Structure formats: C-alpha cells, structure tokens
Amino acid sequence: MFGVERRSGVFYLYAARAARGFADGFAAILLPAYLIEIGFNPFEIGVVAAAALLGSAALTLAIGLLAPRYEFRTLLLICALLMVATGIAFPAVQHIVLVAGVAFFGTINPTTGDIGVHVPLEHAALAEGASDQERTNVFARYSLIGALSIAAGALAAGLPNVLVSIGMTRAGGMQTMFYVYAALGLLGGAFYSYLPHTKPDAAPKMSGMGPSRRTVYKLAALFSLDSFAGGFTVQSLMALWLFERFELSLVSASAFFFWSNLLAAFSYPVAARLGKRFGLVNTMVFTHIPSSICLIVAAFAPDLTTVLCLLLVRSALSQMDVPTRTSYVMAVVTPPERPAAASITAVPRSLASSISPAMSGALLSASFLALPLVICGVLKIVYDLTLLYSFRHIKPREE
C-alpha cells in the first residue's frame, strides 16, 4: 500500500501530518496553561485563540492566490518554515498584542482539527492521487495518522511538570515545549522536501469554480456554521474550562486529551466503513448529532467524572465527519475544481471559527461557565439537520 503512496508523495504527506499533529496536540493544551501562567485572563486567552484562527484563514486565502504560480512542494516548505518561526517567537513575547500577533501570523492551532494553512494544499494533493473508490479511505488514513499523533502530543503536554521536577520554572518548561514545536516544524519540512517537483503550470491550481460553484458555496456556508459553533469549544478553551471549573491539573488534562484524541483517531476508519454502507452525508449527520447531545449534557453534569465520560463519548463520535466531509467535497466537484473547492470550504470555516473563541472566553468569565458548551451543541445540531435536508439527494459517484 505505502509503496504506491511513497512514489506519489502521499506517504510524505502522511509523515508530515504526523509531525504537525504531534506539535498541535501539546500546543493546544499548553496554550491556555502557559497564558494563565504569564497572567492572561480567560477573555484574553479567547482573543489569542481567535487571532490564531483568523490568521489561519488569511494565510489559507493567500496560499490559494499563490498556488497557481508555485508548486505544492515550495508552498508546503514555506508553511513548515512558518511553523518553525512560530515556535521560536511564541516564548519570546508576553504582551497581549505581541502574543496575538504571533498567533495571527503563525501556525498555532488551538483546535487540533483540520484547519490551517497546510490543509487545502494537502487535501487537494491527496485527492489527486486517489480513485473514487479509495478516496474516503485515503482521507481516513490521513485523519487517523493526524489524530493518533495529536493524541500522542496531548500526552506530551505533561512534560513541563517533568522539567519543573529537575529545576526548571513552570513557565520555562512550557516555553521549552514551544521550541520542540519549532523542531517538529523542521521535521515536517524535511518530509515535504521529498515531495515530487511539479511545474507550476502542471500543479493543481486554486482557480475559480466551474459547474460545481453553487454546491461548493452552499457547503462552505454550512461548514462555516459548524466551525462557528466549534469555535466555542476549541480544545484550548475546553482545557481552560476544565482548569477553571474543576481545577484539573496539567498532567490530568494531558491524560484526558490523550484518550479523547485516541478515540477520535479510531473513529476515522469506522467513519470510512459507515460512509460506504450508509452514505457520506448520513454518516456525517447521524454521528454528529449524538456527540452534540453529549456536549450539552456535559454542561449540566455535576461532577468531573461524569463530564469526562460524556466528553469521551463525544470524542468517539464528533470527528467521524472529518474524512467523510473532505471526501464528500472532493467527490461532488469535478477534478479540476478540487483545489479551489478545498480552499473555498476551508477559508470560511477558519473565518467563522475565529469569531467565537473570543466570545467563549468572555462567557467563561460569567456565572454559568458551561454556556459555550450549550451554544456549541445547539448550533451543531442545527447544522446537521440543515446539511441532511439540503444534500441528502446529492450523492458521490460511488454511491
């Protein structure tokens, strides 16, 4: 299997995704803990998360404009260098304006999800080398590798406590992890360097849409609603909520998010199987709704054990729409439209998700700390029902 993928460059995309996922896994948990350590309040932490997501949208749009003139390999190497710069710059600044600036122009991902400047390029490249029958499996493998590496990264978020035990300050231990983040950016760049060279005029282009324009714009609007909802509970803010409401320790949060991301990882191949049997849209909707209900119930749960159990059930279900959603977008457009479709559906999602973290941070300072969870769950159910109603009759070729 990987012999063909190695020759096509997909193997190296998988490897780079693993390095990036490991970095995202610990960065999303350490981000709120580090900002609390240097004196930020929940609203300011929400602003930093919002800046990171807004910057991700702007950079993704810029990549879309540059792609017709440059090969994927070059652009992905630039993305890797940006990740290195982010890891070096983040520990060097502590003023809210400077921290938000680094978050905006850098690659810190408070969601650990498939949002970021790398994503449209990688999705389009993966779709180019996959048949209709294998496309969902290719994206499921990509998502599985990413989620497993995120889970491992989440476990590594507890390493600052080890560094404290050997004499380093708590803030210093966290800053060291950001340098590890930079080193993983270098590793990802090394994998990207093995991608095949393509002439700019032969590389997949982020050009305008053709006959699938209306379908893609409707999907982009719905995905934006989903991302706006998800912005209320990005992993950094969920960690902050657990820190604030239950005084969860960094080590305990690290262990919880490890299992949370591990469950999400193993849901991806299950999603691919369900997608083949029941259809991609049905799989997206009927796994998503129960996960949103778990989130709403967790908001009212009285004790930490119940909350963590509900959130783990949610993790096992909530990410099944990731490979199925990506595969569905690639399936309902023509092959020349795929890079543009990846960009058009990614940028609005990043923009929408950048609005809600600051709102969530403000709400976390209110008397009912769990209100962001309720808002997220309700909006996601609205999204799922609208998606089912609007796209139940638009099926991929393989269905």
Question: What φ, ψ does residue 109 adopt, rounded to 5°?
Answer: -115, 100
262: CB partners within 8 A, 6+ apart: 147, 148, 151
Other beta carbons less than 10 A from residue 100's beta carbon = 20
Specify the amino acid at residue 154.
A
The domain locations on the chain are: 2-196+206-391
CA–CA distance, 336 with 327 (Å, rounded to integer): 15
CA dist., res. 51 & res. 46, Å (int): 9
Residue 337: pLDDT band with limits 50, 70, 90 = confident
Percent of the chain residues topping a pLDDT of 70: 90
Look at residue 208 and tell me whether its pLDDT is greater than 70.
Answer: no
Structure tokens at 191: 């994998």
Task: Tokens 């399936």: give the residue.
Answer: 331
Asked if 49 and 237 touch (Cβ cutoff 8 Å), the reply is yes
Predicted local distance difference test score (pLDDT) of residue 367:
66
Supply the pLDDT for residue 35: 94
pLDDT of residue 272: 87
- Cα(25)–Cα(258) distance, rounded to whole angstroms? 8
Per-residue pLDDT reduced to its tens digit, 119-140? 777 876 776 666 677 777 888 7
- What pLDDT score was predicted for residue 8? 55
List, for residues 154-196, the tens digit of each pLDDT value.
999 999 989 999 989 999 999 999 999 999 999 999 998 988 7
Residue 202: its pLDDT value, please? Answer: 42
Mean pLDDT value across the chain: 86
pLDDT (tens digit per residue) in 209-234: 678 888 999 999 999 999 999 989 98
Assign a CATH topology to domain 2-196+206-391: Growth Hormone; Chain: A; (1.20.1250)
pLDDT of the residue at 119: 79
Please report which confidence band the pLDDT of residue 365 belongs to, taking 50, 70 and 90 as the band edges: confident
Q: Tokens 């595969």 map to which residue?
A: 327
Structure confidence by residue, pLDDT tens digits, 264-308: 888 988 998 999 899 999 999 999 999 999 999 999 998 999 999
The model carries a pTM of: 0.76
* H or E segment and range at residue 343: helix 338-363
Comparing 126 with 327, which gets the higher pLDDT?
327
How many H helices and E strands in the chain?
17, 0
Whether the pLDDT of residue 204 is over 70: the answer is: no
Q: What is the pLDDT of residue 376?
A: 96
